[in-house]
Structure 1
Amino acid sequence: MKNLIVLFAFVLFAATAQSQSLTQKDVTGTWLVVNVENSNSNPKMAAAMTNAVINLYADNSFEIKEKQQNGTAYTYNTTSNKNATWSFNASTQTINTTRTKMTLKISKSGDKTFFTDSESGLKFEVNKPI
């Protein structure tokens, strides 16, 4: 009976861990930053990333577009380096970028997805609007 309980607990844990893992296909696409947490750790970057768009393209290129208010209209300015690329490590659930040298740790909480920048400590709540 004890072995059965241990086996059941292991299967439950494995299923939970597996369900929260993302694949490169899941990560690829356009992500909208809907909230920035820990903004006190880097207020300037937090302000810039509010409502930003992170594009992780299938060809492994990427760009970050920051929302700018020009008068009454909003525009997006690309702030990532030209020819920047990204890679995804499924075992650590991290995105690494070239040129900007960002490392984003991906996590999920319920139906929310977060990218946490390891250097600044900023945690971006993101969603895929497209």
Structure 2
Amino acid sequence: MKNAIMLFVLALFATSVHSQSLTQKDLTGTWLVTNIENSSSNPKMAAAMEKAVINLYADNSFEIKEKQDDGPYSYKTTTSKNATWTFNPSTQTISITQSKMTLKVSQSGGKTYFTDSNSGLKFEVSQPM
């Protein structure tokens, strides 16, 4: 009976871990930065990324657009024109070419986060409807 319970617990744990994994298809699209956690670790980058838009296109091109102060819908693209992204599902990381940016993807409490491995900033992101 103990073995059956342990097997059930292990299966339940494996299912919950698997359900938290995202795929490249899940990540493709537009992501809005809605909140930045631990912004004091890199205040300059945090200020630039506040309300930024991260585009992960299906053709694997990539761009970040930073919100500008001169209007409600004014954005400036701040990434290299030829930047591309790749996703590693086993590590749940997005790697960006043309830069050393690597984003660790995670989910918690129904929210999605991209954590920049270089700066340590954790961006809460959401996809617009």
TM-score normalised by L of structure 2? 0.97
Q: Residue type of the partner of 1:21?
A: S
**Corresponding position of 2:6:** 6
**Corresponding position of 2:64:** 64
SS in 2 for 1:69: coil
Q: Counterparts of 2:81 and 2:54 in 1: how far apart (Å)?
A: 14
Structure 1 segments (4+ residues) deviating >3 Å = none
Q: Counterparts of 2:5 and 2:85 in 1: how far apart (Å)?
A: 42
* Residues 9-37 of structure 1 deviation map (CA, whole Å, 9 limit, x = unaligned): 11110110011000000010000000001
**Corresponding position of 2:22:** 22
Q: Following TM superposition, by how much is the alpha carbon of 1:74 offset from its aligned partner in structure 2, in angstroms?
A: 4.1
Q: Counterparts of 1:81 and 1:40 in 2: how far apart (Å)?
A: 26
Would you tell me which structure has more strand in proportion to its own residues? 1
Q: Counterparts of 2:73 and 2:11 in 1: how far apart (Å)?
A: 49
Q: Counterparts of 1:40 and 1:121 in 2: how far apart (Å)?
A: 10
Stretches of structure 2 that go unaligned for 5 or more consecutive residues are: none
Structure 1 pair 2/60, CA: closer, same or farther in 2 (3 Å)?
A: same
**Corresponding position of 1:44:** 44
Q: Counterparts of 1:19 and 1:50 in 2: how far apart (Å)?
A: 29
Q: Following TM superposition, by how much is the alpha carbon of 1:101 offset from its aligned partner in structure 2, in angstroms?
A: 1.7
**Corresponding position of 2:91:** 92
SS in 1 for 2:67: strand
Stretches of structure 1 that go unaligned for 5 or more consecutive residues are: none
User: % of aligned pairs identical?
Assistant: 71
Q: Residue type of the partner of 2:34?
A: V
What is the Cα-based RMSD across aligned positions, in Å? 0.9
Q: Counterparts of 1:100 and 1:52 in 2: how far apart (Å)?
A: 17
